[in-house]
Amino acid sequence: MSKAPDFGAVKTSAELLSIARAMELNSVERYRELAEAFEISCNPDTAEAFRELAEDEARQAADFPVPAAGLAQVVPWFEEDPEIADPGAVHYLMHPWHALDLGLRHQERSLALFAALAEQSPFAEVKAEALRLVERERGHVAEITAKRDRLPEPPDDWEDDLDPPNWEAGD
């Protein structure tokens, strides 16, 4: 997110919907990868939380029309898709609460993106579609917040590993 976004890059609502669908599908893929990684790391509860996030994103993607011209390959405003999980925010001991909190942050980033687009796009059609996406994302933010808040917050020492991995070779 180092350069200033060019909100004129998307000229039609069809382009915007293609980008939104691609964002959702990218998140599905990333959350499924995280679920698999947490399953391998013997953290099945967090793996399940990531699977649920992936299923939610898949349902959201299915709500968008399949674009005739194919899906957008990149989000034109950022180096990183706002709904893609930040690898630095993931820890193998994290709890389901953390997974949902991570999903919540990504939904909030998408909400901010669509709100900025609704405000700054030079195209009325794109502004109108972006406003619809803002309302949609607000609903997703509320859903994930409610799910996260139903879970117990992890203890302060959640990342303390009593049996850390031994990475030293040659012992």
Structural fold of domain 13-82+89-150:
Ferritin (1.20.1260)
pLDDT along the chain (171 residues), means of 10: 70 90 89 93 94 95 79 59 63 90 92 94 96 96 97 84 63 49
Collect all residues with Cβ–Cβ distance below 8 Å to 1 and sequence separation of at least 6: 78, 79, 80
pLDDT of residue 90: 78
Give the residue extent of every domain in the chain. 13-82+89-150
Q: Which two tokens stand for residue 26?
A: 């990218």
Give the residue from 109, 125, 102 showing the smallest Cα distance to 49. 102
